[in-house]
Structures are given as C-alpha cells and as structure tokens.
Amino acid sequence: MIPRITLVAASLATAARAAQPGAPAPVAAPMRELEWGQINFIHTTDIHGWLGGHLQEPQYSADYGDYISFTSHMRQKADEKGVDLLVIDTGDRIEGNGLYDASDPKGKYTYDIYREQSIDALCTGNHELYAESSVAREHNITVPNFKHSYIASNLDYIEPETGNQIPQAKRYMKLKTKNQGFNVVVLGFIFNFDRNANNSVVQPVEETMKEEWFQNAIREKPDLFLVIGHVGLRMGEYEQIFKVIRDQNWYTPIAFLGGHAHVRDTRKFDDNALAVASGRYFETIGWMSIDGIKKKTKSQASIEAAVTFRRRYIDNNLFGLHYHTGLNETTFPTEHGRNVSKMITEGRKALKLDNLIGCAPQDLWMSRAPYPSNTSIFSWLETQVLPDSIVNEERKDVPRLAIVNTGAIRFDIFQGGFTKDSTYLISPFVSKFNYIADVPYAVASKVLEILNNGGQVFKTGALDAKHLTPPEQVAPSPFLYKSVPKPETDGAKPLFVDQDTQQKPLSANAEAGDPELIGGYTTHDDMGDDGDDAVHSPIQFYEVPNCFQSKIAFPPPAEGQDAAQDPETVDLVFVDYVQPWIIPALKFSGGDYSTDDVKVYSNSTLTDLIAGWAKGHWGQDC
C-alpha cells in the first residue's frame, strides 16, 4: 500500500470546479498532509503569466483568484496555530501566456492581478530583464506595488532621465514574524544573468557578497536567514551564498527558495540549511516548514541548534486546495479571490484568448516524447512547420538550413482546440529570423553538430550552450538518469519519469485497494520521494538537444539517382536569439563570418509561424 497518505473519495472531485470558464475539474488523488512548523512558507516561481491556470490539464486548473483564497485561509490557519506563514515569489512572472503577451502594452492586465496578492518577499527573474520595456515596467509598476517586500540584492536600474544607476529595490530586508516574533534577514538574488537589457545591471553574486551592505546583513544575528532568488538550486550561486553566510553564522538556520530551472526540487546544504524550488507555470505551489528555531539574544551570534525542514509540492487544483484548507466548494472561495478570478476572465475575454485557430490532431510533447519521433513537438516543427514557413520571397528558391534552439519552445500542444492563447504558451518570444547568405554547405552543415556537441567551444560564460535548451536542462539534479528504466522509443506514448530533471517515480505497490493514479510529477530530491502532495503515476521525460534544424528547398535527386546531391551553398537561417553562438560555430567550421554578414530573413516570430501553419493545416472541427 502507498504509505503516509490520506485516501480521499473520488466522488469529491466533482465538487471541485475551477474558477475559469472551461477549466477542467481536478481528479481525486491520494493526498499527503502539509506538515506545519514554527515558520512556514508558501512559494511560487516562474508563473510566466499563467494566472488563469491550465485550461487543458485538470491537475493544475486553479487560477490566481483561487491562490489568493488559499493563502488567505492558510494565513488564518497559521494564526490559529500560533505559528508564522510567509508568502514568497521568486520571479519570471511575465512572458509565456497570452494574458501577458497578447496585450498592448504587454502586461496590461497581469500587473493589476499580481498586485492583488499579499506577498511578503519577492524578487526579479531573468524574463523581467530581457527587454528595456519590461525592465521599465518592472521598476515602475511591480516595485511600487510591492515596495515593502521587493528585494534586489544584485540588480540595478538605469534611470532613463539621468542615466544614474540605482538599486532596483532594497538590497535586503529585516522582518519580525507576526505571531512568534522571530527576526528574519531576507536577501533576494538573481543568478549571474548576462543577457539583460541595457537599462538594467546584474552584478555577479560573488562580487555582491563583497559589498559592505551584504557583510553587514550577514552579521545581523537573526533567528533565520531567508534567501529568495531566481536561481536554480543546482546552480553555483546558491552554493556561494550558503558558504559565505555559514562561515559567519555557524548554526543559524538558512532557508532558500529558488526558481529558474522550472522543476520541483529540494537541495540540502547542511542540517540547518535547505533550498526548495516550486516548479513552473503555476502548476506548483511550494510549501516549506521549519521547526526547532531558537530565538537569540542580541549577544548571541549563532546558537547551536538542530532544526527540522519539511517540504511539499502542491498540485495547483481545487481538489488539493480544498483538502489542505479543510474547506469545500462553498466555504473555500473568498470574496477577494472571486473578484481576482473575475479580473482574469475579463482580461482573457478582452484579449480573445479562446479564439480557435485550429484543432490539433494529436498531442505534441517537448520532453514527454523522444526526439526525433512522431509525437515530438521539435520533430513536428522540423519536418512540417519550418519547411512550409521559413520563406523569404526574394530568396525562396535558395536552399537553406533553418536552425531553432529547443529553448524557444516552452510548452506542449494537446490534442484538441489550439487557440490564440496556445500560441503564446508554446512560444512567447519576440525573436525574429536572421540569415547569412550563400554559406558553403560544407561549412554550414557542421554548425548544428557544434551547437549540440560543441564541447569547450561553448562550455562557459555567456556562450554556454546550455542556455539554448529549455530551463529544465540548464542545471540538472544529481538524480539525473539515476535508476531510470531505459526509455521506450517505439512511438508509444511513454510513462513519465523525469529524466532531464529530478522527477522520479514513487515506490508504490499495485496492491489491491490502491487507487488508480493520474499521471503527474513524482519528484525525487535530496529529502526523498515523498514531496508531492498528490500521489501520481509516473510519466516519462526525455532529454532534448540544444538545437534542431530543417533542410528547406534542397534540390531533389537527379533522375535515376536515389540520393540528392548537396547544394554548393545555402542560406543559413536562424532565430536571432541563437546568433551569438552561430558566428563562432561558423568560424570553428572553417567559415570567416562576422555580425556584419548577418541580415534579416523574416520579421515573423516563431509564434507567428506556428499560428499561421496551424490555421492553414488544421481544421476547426474539434
């Protein structure tokens, strides 16, 4: 039997309707309790605009209004228990959903919706920093909206009027918890991001920690250090921060809440320091609790103590949110939560996000199918979308290689309705297509291999090729490939074991009486395999390459020949994000090219191409 869980009657699921029109009802599942401590954290990260929840996935179908109701009830429970609860967000709130990306200006609706939540500490993600316009909106809208809780330990803003470089927000924060009066020092970082817009400055973490304010902060003698950040738990930045704080504070508990990697994960630094990451796209609400904290006097720098950390990864659906609050369809929604859900509905309606483009005939997966395969979204793009869509009328007859990085795709396509919103879920980016004309095929044909297996050519710094992949593969867990069954690649839809991150199957016996489980996250982290609040059946995930490539308008085989002769030269076309890698790859292949040789091939984005192809090839009879 499955241990340490509560079985809840499946019939209860019918009462758990999500707030957004058309959202599927969640499916009942065996549940694990949330374990409370003296200080407790509710955490979101990498929401990327998914404030309406997942309208095609029942296990993640709650919306931001439901989340506001949930946190309100949990704060009340904390007060009743006499413990403390802090609500945290660690960035990448924008880009990735039509509710943000489809409006003009971008975020016309989402900034007001985010403002409705009471957040105790939040920081910036890299997506807030790619464009000067989004940097300015973050500084001029989000920072004032959360002026008492926004932290920017290593991020500055360049004022457009004066050119002055100023902190994006306060460098750190001291707070006293509501119910027990614990003193907490809170820091807020972003990883060493170097592709930010010119009106922002990201200071490397290592340099930041040398500054006087940071050295003062780690000598504040708090009862707890809280480090929030848009940092993957397996990246080096958090390890650096931990070591510096721990060298100064031998026993003080340190809680880290991270993001960026789009995974559920927990990393243990030592017995008194733990880090939790809470997934992506509003699929997951993270939970961390800490017990055994000892209050210090002013003369005590660090008290020897043994604290206990616990974590949960909460599936964001109403079945689970009702379960954890002990409420139901009638008692759970708050008036505030309902009003926020209404804001989301009205925004989606104004942007016409449910307008149907076409009906996808099958599921197409980012990493739930091997590449190449008939169910891989990358294979679909490579063999169908790009050959039909990468066209410059003036050079339409010139053979070309078209290269796109896998990180340009951010979500799956589900069989059924493919809407205006779907196009932004799949690829929200504004990158266009550039090209270098008439590259010798012997040179151009080597570029893809170098991008995918470049070794020391692209190993470190800004040109580390890992930045071409989906976030899940940037800083993988040590559990990667450990005890993972060999993938089946015969075209059958695979079961889910998170190979390219740290999701692993739970140890559950299919004994009589165990419930039938819905597929979902089965996370294995530094604390074991019991972190997910709902028990799922495992699903298989596969690793993907850095980039993929389409051959377009190549000459056909000559009469009587089985194979075509390669063209002498091709246009090398690439999504503009990849350009910094393309030039050195060409040089490594024997070509002498620079940015002066790069021209615009198409002003269409990948989002535009996908939408146009779907409209032209998929019917509307779903």
- Choice between 488 and 415, residue whose per-residue pLDDT is larger: 415
Task: Check whether 3 has a pLDDT greater than 60.
Answer: no
Burial of 396 (0-12, 13-18, 19+ CB in 10 A): exposed
Spell out the SS3 assignment of 69-128: HHHHHHHHHHHHHCCEEEEEECCCCCCCCHHHHCCCCCCCCHHHHHHCCCCCEECCCHHH
Query: What crossing angle do the helices spanning 335-351 and 64-81 adopt, rounded to 10°?
Result: 160
Which among 604, 27, 98 is positioned nearest to 351, based on CA atoms? 98
Q: Residues near 58 by Cβ (< 8 Å), separated by ≥ 6? A: 24, 25, 26, 27, 317, 518
Quote the tokens at residue 133: 């316009």
Which among 189, 102, 103, 193 is positioned nearest to 154, based on CA atoms? 189
pLDDT attached to residue 410? 97
Where residue 558 falls among pLDDT bands split at 50, 70, 90? confident
Task: Check whether 1 has a pLDDT greater than 80.
Answer: no
β-pairing, 121-122 vs 155-158, is unpaired
Q: Which DSSP string corresponds to 270-309? A: ETTEEEEEE-STTSEEEEEEEE---PPPTT-S------EE
Q: What angle do CA 274, 276, 279 make, to 5 degrees?
A: 170
Q: Buried (b) or exposed (e) across 586-613, using 16+ Cβ within 10 A? A: beebebebeeebbeebbeebbbbbbbbb
354 and 116 in contact (C-beta within 8 Å)? no
pLDDT in tens, 158-197: 999 999 999 999 999 999 999 999 999 999 999 999 999 9
pLDDT attached to residue 513? 53
pLDDT attached to residue 587? 94
pLDDT attached to residue 507? 31
pLDDT in tens, 479-518: 543 433 333 333 322 223 333 333 333 333 334 455 678 8
3-state secondary structure of 506: coil
Amino acid making up residue 515: P
**What average pLDDT does range 441-462 have in this prediction?**
84
User: CA 277, CA 312: separation in Å to the nearest integer?
Assistant: 10
User: CA 497, CA 542: separation in Å to the nearest integer?
Assistant: 8
pLDDT attached to residue 559? 81
3-state secondary structure of 572: strand
Task: Check whether 452 has a pLDDT greater than 90.
Answer: yes
Q: How many residues does the chain have?
A: 622
pLDDT attached to residue 16? 54
pLDDT attached to residue 495? 25
For 95, 286, 436, 489, the CA distances from 587, given in Å and listed in that order, are 33, 45, 13, 36
For 3, 77, 78, the CA distances from 73, given in Å and listed in that order, are 27, 6, 9
Task: Check whether 60 has a pLDDT greater than 80.
Answer: yes
311 and 287 in contact (C-beta within 8 Å)? yes
Quote the tokens at residue 557: 């085989």
Report CA Rg, the chain. 25
Task: Check whether 557 has a pLDDT greater than 90.
Answer: no
pLDDT in tens, 347-405: 999 999 999 999 999 999 999 999 999 999 999 999 999 999 999 999 999 999 999 99
pLDDT attached to residue 93? 98
User: CA 207, CA 220: separation in Å to the nearest integer?
Assistant: 20
Quote the tokens at residue 284: 């997951």
User: CA 340, CA 65: separation in Å to the nearest integer?
Assistant: 5
User: CA 474, CA 261: separation in Å to the nearest integer?
Assistant: 7
Q: What is the mean pLDDT of the chain?
A: 90
Residue 370 is classified by DSSP as -
pLDDT attached to residue 543? 92
Name the one residue in this structure whose structure tokens are 């003296």.
Answer: 38
pTM as predicted: 0.92
Residue 205 is classified by DSSP as H
Quote the tokens at residue 345: 């509905």
379 and 371 in contact (C-beta within 8 Å)? yes
Task: Check whether 578 has a pLDDT greater than 70.
Answer: yes
User: CA 276, CA 232: separation in Å to the nearest integer?
Assistant: 10
Which among 446, 432, 400 is positioned nearest to 571, based on CA atoms? 400
Task: Check whether 476 has a pLDDT greater than 80.
Answer: no
Task: Check whether 317 has a pLDDT greater than 80.
Answer: yes
pLDDT attached to residue 481? 35
Q: What angle do CA 240, 242, 243 make, to 5 degrees?
A: 65
- In the chain, % of residues over pLDDT 90: 82
User: CA 354, CA 20: separation in Å to the nearest integer?
Assistant: 12
Which among 44, 46, 222, 52 is positioned nearest to 121, based on CA atoms? 44
Task: Check whether 18 has a pLDDT greater than 70.
Answer: no
